[in-house]
Structure 1
């Protein structure tokens, strides 16, 4: 056997061993098999979901959304202050692998004809000293201007870009597991000249305060859920 063939064979064995090392052997789901729709309140701090519950989203078997997400929560909330309503979308997938990944709004909105005119990273405050890395976007199509903020959770990670999402998915695989993922988006159709980011942030903070701890874990991870539980006990 030639030396070159031996070296090539050893390289193949090493590659196979590496692939086997990276093969996830367990699933990690912070939702714990519970339905997110039952954990996120329909009423809190002057806000109430229109119709008292979720918007019906037809699920087409075999579609991309059907493949990516085990559960989708869609609601429109109005406040007693009479201001602009806020739309909430939460998408949860049990398994975030190379083929099944959360789709980020800046990509999805452009795919249906919106132009992204603002895109920035700005942590959303859940309570004093407790923030979640989030993305703020403004999407325009015709006369419609929609301002939104969102974050994604992949296992215990909170990636803000597609690159970070790939990095965190690889880190999870190297630790031997496939993590679940969630995308939380709140948005508002702009009524004036300026975006009201403060209203969106206040909505998120109120929603998280009214959500039970198991729901907080599913939405923002264990560490922030614990911190928020401590903060709400103090208040």
Structure 2
């Protein structure tokens, strides 16, 4: 005779199998309409102009973690056209597949791994036309010789998660819909004197200008479809 406990255990096992099948992605979602992201990123952003430099080239080592995580990385230095103010470092990392094994790495984990201490961190919103802000994170990373202010955001499918927990939830929601989504991390940073004021507003203004300077049809790869459409209408 089958005991009730065995039925419960068996039922739980079948439920787990069913859930696993339901979470098995059946299609991909990519908001990158072009073959490459790099050509879509403008060299003129507001009052900043991209410098012709190889300083921020990110090498792709076959088989490395970065090579597996990201399909493409765009790195560039932008300088104020009037030479008034610091240069801004832009890094955009795009991954065609976001899963439990392959997912965007946030600066909160990357910078400490490189020996930086995180001294300040808070949430912020980047203002876009049509009153549809982008949820972003501002933080300061320091070493004994370097102080770097950073503003960044991430997109996973149509979600813009601000924390690792939100990122896991976004991945779960897309999986429930049978989707493997793409993802992007957009990060701007600059160096400043340790005793000087934080430059988060400068970085936020640069990133806002970056999105506005992109072709309207391609902004979705950075901010998602709905924000891009409302921005276009606005």
Alignment of 1:46-195 (within 5 A): 46-51=47-52, 55-82=56-83, 83-127=85-129, 129-191=131-193, 193-195=196-198
User: Contact 2:130/2:230 (CA < 8 Å) preserved in 1?
Assistant: no
Q: 1:226 to 1:5 in 2, by over 3 A?
A: same
Instruction: Name the SS of the counterpart of 1:133 in structure 2.
Output: strand
Alignment of 1:208-223 (within 5 A): 208-223=211-226
Aligned partner (choices 203, 206, 211) of residue 209 of structure 2: 206
What runs of 5+ residues in structure 1 fail to find an aligned partner? none
For the residues of structure 2 that align with 1:54 and 1:37, how far apart are their CA atoms? 16
For the residues of structure 1 that align with 2:23 and 2:59, how far apart are their CA atoms? 36
What runs of 5+ residues in structure 2 fail to find an aligned partner? none
User: Contact 1:72/1:89 (CA < 8 Å) preserved in 2?
Assistant: yes
Instruction: Name the SS of the counterpart of 2:158 in structure 1.
Output: coil
User: Contact 2:130/2:231 (CA < 8 Å) preserved in 1?
Assistant: no
1:20 maps to 21
For the residues of structure 1 that align with 2:82 and 2:54, how far apart are their CA atoms? 20
State which drifts further: 31-40 or 212-221: 31-40
Deviations 1:52-74 (A, max 9, x none): 78942211111110010000000
TM-score, structure 1 as length reference:
0.92
Displacement of 1:209 in angstroms is: 1.2
User: Of Structure 1 and Structure 2, which has the larger fraction of its residues in helix?
Assistant: 1
TM-score, structure 2 as length reference:
0.93
Displacement of 1:129 in angstroms is: 1.8
Give RMSD over aligned pairs: 1.7
Q: 1:49 to 1:138 in 2, by over 3 A?
A: same
Displacement of 1:104 in angstroms is: 0.4
1:197 maps to 200
Deviations 1:17-70 (A, max 9, x none): 111011111110111353111111112333211107894221111111001000
Deviations 1:99-129 (A, max 9, x none): 0110000110001100000000011112362
Displacement of 1:96 in angstroms is: 0.6
